[in-house]
């Protein structure tokens, strides 16, 4: 969910408009995130829901992270890019980490709940991870074999139960290979999976994934897909951690490719919503937590097939509304603050602005 105003999100040439494919992919992925969150309290009563939940969780965040890595390829320590990292990632992290903790205190009647910026809570882990991944981008662009190194780090993390919860480093490290893969990708790699043959093959692949998910329900905990615990913390032998990292990386890439194959490449009614997926991601968490705290998901009707379908539709509609322009205008102060007052003006940036102003004046005179 990269910042919607980043030039890297454009279609390849300066001045071109955003690539509809990526906005469509981000919107569809955020819908799957919201659906997965409402399925979580229901999956214990329905093997079908838990199978679908397992399949969705195996690729929706990897898809997001790969796209984030792809649009981080140009990141360096240039002042303007560091400013965007602070205003687009650090500030939202601080605001929403605090807001979620205060929300729990009030709505869940938990006045002693800690507010800690070192221990990301609920959805804010992604912002913390994105900050760390972006800051390490120059290193991944420098080393010769970045993806094998990132996979090795993820495998080691899966057996390091001593990592703890600080900055949610277990997730940061186990999801790292997807970000590094995005850094290594080019636009043509996304075009490869959008061929008709791949779309056709993706249908039986997804069907097989659902069948495997159905089989795995009584045999495997879904906590593996969160990537937030070591193998020992999940009650498994230490050596299963590296094996699961590699196995899930392969499965996630396969399903992510199938997902990308079905993402429309043209402008759709929801394409513009792709620019607001960070809003939908962070804001829908308040609705999910409110339902959890207030026991909304405990209603018996929601644990029947029609209730599960209705709740899924409501989740998709709700997160869609949260990605719209009116919502983004209201919450832009927290998601995309300008904060010129907080930064020194870079001399090179001032020169560029003066050159632009002079060019505009010349154009006005010539007109």
- The predicted-structure confidence for 141-180, as pLDDT tens digits, reads as follows 999 999 999 999 999 999 998 887 788 999 999 999 999 9
SS (H, E, C) 4-69: CCCHHHECCCCCCCECHHHHHHHHHHHHHHHHHHHHCCCHHHCHHHHHHHHHHHCCHHHHHHHHHH
65-93 confidence digits (pLDDT tens): 999 999 999 998 888 899 999 999 999 99
Please state, in angstroms and as integers, the Cα–Cα distance from residue 8 to each residue in 70, 71, 129, 274, 331, following that order. Answer: 9, 6, 20, 15, 23
Answer yes or no: is pLDDT of 19 > 90: no
pLDDT average, residue stretch 49-57: 94
Answer yes or no: is pLDDT of 367 > 90: no
If you search the block for the tokens 């409402």, which residue do you land on?
A: 38
**In percent, how much of the chain has pLDDT > 70?**
92
Q: What is the predicted pLDDT for the residue at 3?
A: 43
Answer yes or no: is pLDDT of 17 > 60: yes
Mean pLDDT of the chain: 89
Answer yes or no: is pLDDT of 365 > 70: no
State whether the Cα torsion 42-43-48-49 is positive or negative.
positive
104-143 confidence digits (pLDDT tens): 999 998 888 888 888 888 899 999 999 999 999 999 999 9
- Which of 297, 292, 259 lies closest to 32, judged by CA? 259
Take residue 138 and report the two structure tokens written for it: 């120059």
Other CB atoms within 10 Å distance of the CB of residue 104:
20
Q: Where are the beta strands (DSSP E) in 123-192?
A: none
């Amino acid at each position: 969910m990269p910042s919607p105003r980043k030039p890297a999100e454009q279609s390849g040439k300066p001045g071109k408009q955003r690539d509809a494919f990526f906005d469509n992919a981000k919107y569809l992925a955020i819908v799957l995130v919201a659906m997965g969150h409402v399925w979580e309290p229901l999956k214990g009563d329905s093997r079908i829901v838990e199978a679908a939940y397992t399949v969705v969780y195996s690729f929706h965040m990897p898809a997001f992270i790969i796209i984030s890595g792809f649009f981080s390829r140009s990141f360096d320590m240039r002042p303007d890019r560091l400013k965007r990292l602070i205003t687009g990632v650090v500030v939202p992290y601080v605001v929403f980490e605090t807001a979620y903790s205060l929300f729990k205190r009030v709505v869940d009647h938990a006045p002693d709940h800690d507010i800690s910026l070192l221990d990301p809570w609920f959805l804010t882990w992604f912002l913390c991870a994105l900050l760390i991944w972006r800051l390490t981008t120059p290193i991944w662009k420098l080393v010769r074999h970045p993806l094998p190194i990132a996979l090795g780090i993820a495998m080691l993390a899966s057996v390091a139960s001593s990592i703890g919860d600080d900055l949610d480093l277990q997730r940061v490290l186990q999801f790292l290979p997807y970000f590094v893969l995005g850094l290594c990708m080019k636009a043509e790699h996304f075009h490869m999976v959008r061929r008709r043959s791949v779309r056709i093959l993706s249908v039986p692949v997804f069907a097989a994934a659902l069948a495997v998910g159905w089989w795995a329900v009584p045999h495997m905990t879904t906590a593996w897909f969160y990537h937030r615990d070591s193998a020992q913390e999940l009650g498994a032998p230490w050596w299963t951690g590296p094996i699961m990292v590699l196995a899930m990386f392969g499965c996630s890439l396969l399903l992510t490719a199938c997902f990308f194959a079905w993402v429309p490449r043209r402008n759709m009614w929801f394409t513009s919503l792709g620019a607001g997926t960070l809003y939908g991601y962070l804001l829908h968490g308040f609705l999910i937590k409110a339902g959890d705290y207030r026991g909304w998901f405990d209603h018996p009707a929601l644990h029947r097939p029609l209730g599960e379908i209705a709740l899924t539709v409501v989740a998709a509609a709700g997160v869609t509304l949260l990605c719209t322009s009116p919502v983004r205008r209201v919450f832009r102060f927290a998601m995309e603050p300008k904060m010129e007052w907080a930064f020194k003006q870079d001399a090179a940036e001032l020169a560029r602005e003066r050159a632009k102003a002079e060019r505009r004046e010349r154009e006005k005179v010539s007109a």
